[in-house]
């Protein structure tokens, strides 16, 4: 599914984006990402800043993973220890069918990142 013409990712959006090429233990291929940066920044720069997301059950005990529940009780995790910035246009980012995470999950993810690098409010 391609992104609609004129679409720009916005804060709290879940998007699909390519994480390749991979180095070391980084994620590879296409994965969801929680967008942290606002639409105005993303549109102007072509860059999106966000946090990796996964459904890997091994994150159940990861202290840096924020658990969320999606449609049909699907469980996923926002990885607060893996902030990324990507050129969302060149990586063919597109909206995730779940649209956005809840305000509570977004706040918990920001708090998790803040506990590591102490810059998010």
CB 35 within 8 A of CB 53: no
Residues 77 and 44 sit within 8 Å (Cβ to Cβ): no
> How many degrees, rounded to 5, is the angle at CA 75 between CA 72 and CA 78?
135
Mind listing the domains of the chain with CATH numbers?
A: 13-117 (2.30.30.110)
Give kind and range of the element (H or E) at residue 62: none
pTM: 0.89
Q: Are the CB atoms for 77 and 55 separated by under 8 Å?
A: yes
Residues of the chain with pLDDT under 50: 120
| 8-41 pLDDT per residue, tens | 999 999 999 998 876 666 666 899 999 999 999 9
């Amino acid at each position: 599914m391609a992104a609609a013409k004129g679409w720009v990712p916005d804060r709290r959006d879940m998007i699909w984006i390519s994480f390749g090429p991979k180095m070391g233990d980084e994620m590879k291929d296409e994965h969801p990402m929680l967008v942290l940066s606002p639409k105005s920044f993303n549109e102007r720069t072509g860059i999106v800043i966000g946090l990796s997301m996964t459904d890997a059950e091994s994150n159940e005990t990861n202290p840096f993973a924020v658990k969320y529940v999606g449609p049909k009780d699907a469980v996923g995790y926002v990885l607060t220890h893996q902030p990324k910035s990507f050129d969302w246009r060149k990586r063919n980012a597109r909206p995730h069918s779940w649209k956005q995470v809840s305000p509570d999950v977004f706040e918990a993810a920001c708090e998790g990142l803040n506990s590591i690098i102490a810059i998010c409010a």
